[in-house]
Chain A
């Protein structure tokens, strides 16, 4: 129920039957884009989608992805700042 992999739509193979060619690191497979057909299918070419058992189930939101990564990186910076504070506190205590 969980194995979904991001892939890029590189071509529409059958617009009427909502089928497209997806690429995952150079491996290609025809997939259904029925679930993401709320827009004209031609617009899907170049988009990144989440693929599960041969169906594109969602278009990946690049902005959200960036936002998530920024939050994660910010946690790293917080940690560095905390470490720096601890280090300098330690240095002062000597």
Chain B
């Protein structure tokens, strides 16, 4: 049972009638700590996230925490994406799913989130309402509560409409211990679906390349998917969600931590035609495009098929597929076997991928 007193500094919960916000944009007055700020917080955030509570902190308990051998999982992440709304989601959805995913890839059941907002003077209330609604929806889908938070307002130009930071708490049940250090030679590498949709969607949404496409961000929370995998393949060794820097960066990190080489097959990499097309036009490598709902798993060979079957029965895992395996170290962390039959190294991203003409 989850009991909590939930809180938002500056908000006043309970029986006070909510007064409507004046105007349609955030001003510096809304950051002043006074009535305007209270109204902003209640109208936009706590009315959507938080039932009630009046203290400076959320006071939380979950029975699962008390099981001997259970561990608390704790993570935080900041979100500064531009544009703040894009096909397939917005900064709020990213912030909720991103932090939930950081918890679940450690084997945790996600429970509670905090949400802090830095809002640029002039930001429209309507935008903030949409972001808050988005966050509430994603949290509910994942069975997670947003229990505390903060808001600040900065002058025009000092933030890009809104920045969001979410921290998350979850419980790792006794007996679960996954991590890159547990990866073994022979492990099969599996991903849950197509790669690079988020990065491609953002590029298209930025508008300065004047490309239009139907690609939407793959942003989604992966808790149900992870639980399905744990049930079917309890011997799972490691999991991570591939985000910035693309699949390539995630594989490099995991392989280095494990001291092995990951060998991936180009022919097995799942990619939407449109993402391939965009990469060809701009000279980008889809391995480096950002993802927001992509799970990378290292599973012992004898459980790989079980894991795949289980993943395909969940919405987030329909297109799950093997992409390679862990082999004894071969001088570099990640090697790609090309569709053409040759081999090449896949490095960590250096700086940002830029479109090229050559």
Q: Interface of A with B (CB < 8 Å)?
A: 1-3, 5, 7, 24-30, 51-53
Contact = CB atoms under 8 A, between A and B. Distances in A.
Contact of A27 (B281, B357, B358): B281
A5 B280 contact: yes
Contact of B283 (A3, A28, A51): A3
B44 interface: no
B59 interface: no
A26 B273 contact: yes
Given A5-B281, A30-B210, A51-B281, A25 B358 contact: no
B210 A27 contact: no
Nearest first, the 10 closest Cβ-Cβ pairs linking A and B are A25-B277, A26-B274, A24-B277, A25-B273, A27-B277, A27-B213, A5-B280, A3-B283, A27-B278, A28-B212
A53 B215 CA distance: 21
A69 to B, nearest CB: 16
A28 B276 contact: no
Contacts of A24: 277-278, 280-281
Contacts of B16: none
Given A3-B357, A3-B358, A27 B283 contact: no
Interface of B: 204, 209-215, 272-274, 276-278, 280-281, 283, 356-358
A25 B215 CA distance: 11
Nearest to A53: B357
8 contacts: A3-B356, A3-B358, A5-B280, A24-B278, A25-B276, A26-B273, A27-B204, A27-B281
Contacts of B273: 25-26
Contacts of A51: 281
Contacts, number: 48
A27 B209 CA distance: 12
Contacts of B211: 27-29
Contacts of B209: 29
Contacts of A25: 273-274, 276-277, 280
Contacts of A5: 277, 280-281
A77 B278 CA distance: 35
A7 B276 CA distance: 13
A60 to B, nearest CB: 15
Contacts of B272: 26
B214 to A, nearest CB: 6
Contacts of A3: 283, 356-358
Given A5-B280, A24-B280, A51-B281, A29 B210 contact: yes
A2 B280 CA distance: 12
Contacts of A27: 204, 211-213, 215, 274, 277-278, 281
A66 B211 CA distance: 30
A7 B273 CA distance: 13
A68 to B, nearest CB: 17
Contacts of B213: 26-28
A43 to B, nearest CB: 24
Contact of B357 (A1, A26, A28, A30): A1
Nearest to B210: A29
B304 to A, nearest CB: 30
A71 to B, nearest CB: 18
B168 to A, nearest CB: 35
